[in-house]
Chains A and B, each alone.
Chain A
Amino acid sequence: MIDACLGSQGAKVVVATSGDEEHPPENITDGKTNTFWMSTGMFPQEFIIRFAEPTSVFAVTVDSYNVKHLKIEKNATQNVSQFEFVAEKEFENTEGHLQSNAISLNGGSVTHLRFIITAGYDHFVSVHRVSIQN
């Protein structure tokens, strides 16, 4: 099945708290791990992905660097508001190569997923790809 979390499938990052022009948030949904979005300031940092249509999500895989703690929220409305908590995870520090973490989201239909990075192993963190399993 094609990953619904791809820009080419209509998924879109609609909010991002940092925006280095050379590393824009669209890099999260381009399906590649050699492009990335990077935070430029203090924590927490977050981004929100909107799916083209309500999508049931059983798990997400996040490829990142220097992320220490990630919290995921979801909603099933057309607005970017009223999120409910679904999962959180402490990532391991991986010096020199990317972190890749699968996080179970127990199904259910979502229109937005909100990723909140509450802490990092450095002042700056990067997110290279988010893919979903449904």
Chain B
Amino acid sequence: MRSFELQSKHTFGNYSCLFFYHPFFVPWYLVCVGDAAVGKSALSHMLHSDGTLLQKNYSMTTGVELLMKCVNIPETNDSVELYIIDSAGKETLVESCEKMWGEPSLLCLVFDLTSEQSFANCSRWMERVHAHCRGLPVPGVLVGNKLDLSTRREVQTSVAQEWAQSQGLEYYETSAKDMENCDAPLLSLARAFHSLYQERRETIQNLSPG
């Protein structure tokens, strides 16, 4: 019901009547998961604070932080409002956090390039997220973070790339600390969901009447 409450506030506010003509005003859920301490929060905050953000974030007490961000979709005049759900990675907190995910539209799976274990656990995270998606395709990215700690790297690019591909994810390496490549995953996700929208719109345009 959380999403409904958020939406209601958006919809009505104090107005008695209004329209949203901004095509993609309606937010999309981007769920950000991965092991504890891989840098999800650092990355989420990075994404969130590049100057274009809307100042309306707040913390939840249940181990999930909700950040909102407006992203321009490359090569179009459209933009999308993303709700970035930064979910706690600690095993003991996962179950209660999962309840806050809702039905995600987009997935950002983060691991630590200097921790083989955090990469190995990615399959578990995939399973968890898929259980929330009712079989719908969810465009996603796999992000190897902590690119700045290159001497301690345990996961090779080619290995991560291959696994990402097998899961239908785009692969990126970032350094939230050095602000390196951080917006690439987000732009890729926005682009992917936007093309899904275009595709569906075309299908509907070509439907025969009931």
Contact = CB atoms under 8 A, between A and B. Distances in A.
B20 interface: yes
B4 interface: yes
Given A23-B201, A36-B204, A126-B204, A44 B4 contact: yes
A20 B22 CA distance: 7
Interface in B159-210: 193, 196-197, 200-201, 204, 207-210
A124 B28 CA distance: 11
A89 B12 CA distance: 24
Contacts of B111: none
A34 B209 contact: yes
Contact of B197 (A19, A24, A34, A124): A124
A39 to B, nearest CB: 7
Contacts of A43: 3, 103
Interface centre among B19, B81, B207 (most CB of A within 10 A): B207
A98 B26 contact: no
B200 A20 contact: no
A66 B197 CA distance: 13
Contacts of B80: 41
B18 interface: yes
Interface residues of A, number: 39
B16 A79 contact: yes
A100 B12 CA distance: 29
A45 interface: yes
Given A124-B201, A126-B204, A42 B209 contact: no
A15 B18 contact: yes
Interface in A20-73: 20-21, 23-25, 33-34, 36, 38-46, 63, 65
Given A14-B17, A15-B18, A33 B209 contact: yes
B12 A41 contact: no
B20 A100 contact: no
Interface of A: 14-21, 23-25, 33-34, 36, 38-46, 63, 65, 79-81, 94, 96-100, 118, 122-124, 126
Interface of B: 3-4, 7, 10-12, 16-29, 80-81, 102-103, 105, 136, 193, 196-197, 200-201, 204, 207-210
Given A42-B7, A98-B209, A123-B136, 5 more contacts: A18-B20, A21-B21, A34-B209, A40-B26, A42-B26
